[in-house]
Chain A
Amino acid sequence: NAGVMQNPRHLVRRRGQEARLRCSPMKGHSHVYWYRQLPEEGLKFMVYLQKENIIDESGMPKERFSAEFPKEGPSILRIQQVVRGDSAAYFCASSPRLRDRNEKLFFGSGTQLSVL
């Protein structure tokens, strides 16, 4: 049973370019979360999605950032017109259909975005 798969592991973009980060949840998991970790900071919640639905995007910057989790395929976090301040590690996590508030999150290995 493969874990949460994120790609690419490392992504380098120049200012103004677009960045697309992909996340495939664990098999059987229908909940996907995106977190961002800036250097020397904790993980910050960005968005929570279920298949074809954005449930909570309260942590997403208002502009340039968007996320989707289509019926088929991975979840995508898209950052348009990247700036240097977007450089961070972006982690995706998934969980199964929740019955228990103590259900844990399974994290992918992250995408390190570097903006030149």
Chain B
Amino acid sequence: RKEVEQDPGPFNVPEGATVAFNCTYSNSASQSFFWYRQDCRKEPKLLMSVYSSGNEDGRFTAQLNRASQYISLLIRDSKLSDSATYLCVVNPSYSGGYQKVTFGIGTKLQVIP
């Protein structure tokens, strides 16, 4: 089983739609979780951290379910500019103080006019 698993998609959704991605992780001792966004093979950029209590940033909501070992990202009112690949990122453990994170393969989102 992969450390971090994502559905690669693509998810094709119309503008204004709500779309959700899930990501599962295998290491129950994982400490921290993030969603990154990557455009067209450019560098990944942090979208948001994911906290146990769930967190929201504008149209984006991230949730963590430790019992089932998955995190989710919900995007409301999709914009054309949301088209990108969304990377699930997990820090497997507190690795002596550094970020040896594991990236999922990414889920590709295409928002259609």
A binds B: yes
Q: Are A110 and B99 in contact (CB under 8 A)?
A: no
CB-nearest residue of chain B to A91: B43
User: Which chain A residues border B100 with CB–CB below 8 Å?
Assistant: 45, 48, 56
User: Which chain A residues border B101 with CB–CB below 8 Å?
Assistant: 45, 105
User: Which chain B residues border A33 with CB–CB below 8 Å?
Assistant: 99
CB-nearest residue of chain B to A48: B98
Known contacts A41-B105, A42-B106, A103-B99; is-contact A109 B43 (Cβ 8 Å): yes
CB-nearest residue of chain B to A50: B98
CB-nearest residue of chain B to A6: B43
Q: Are B44 and A104 in contact (CB under 8 A)?
A: no
Q: Are A102 and B49 in contact (CB under 8 A)?
A: yes
User: Which chain B residues border A91 with CB–CB below 8 Å?
Assistant: 43-44
Q: Does B97 contact A (CB under 8 A)?
A: yes
Q: Are A107 and B98 in contact (CB under 8 A)?
A: no
Q: Does B46 contact A (CB under 8 A)?
A: yes
A48 → B minimal CB distance (Å): 6
User: Which chain A residues border B105 with CB–CB below 8 Å?
Assistant: 41-42
Q: Which 8 A-B pairs have the closest CB atoms?
A: A107-B43, A42-B105, A43-B103, A42-B103, A104-B46, A102-B32, A98-B97, A109-B43
Interface residues of A (CB under 8 A from B): 31, 33, 35, 37, 41-45, 48, 55-56, 89, 91, 95, 98, 101-105, 107-110, 112
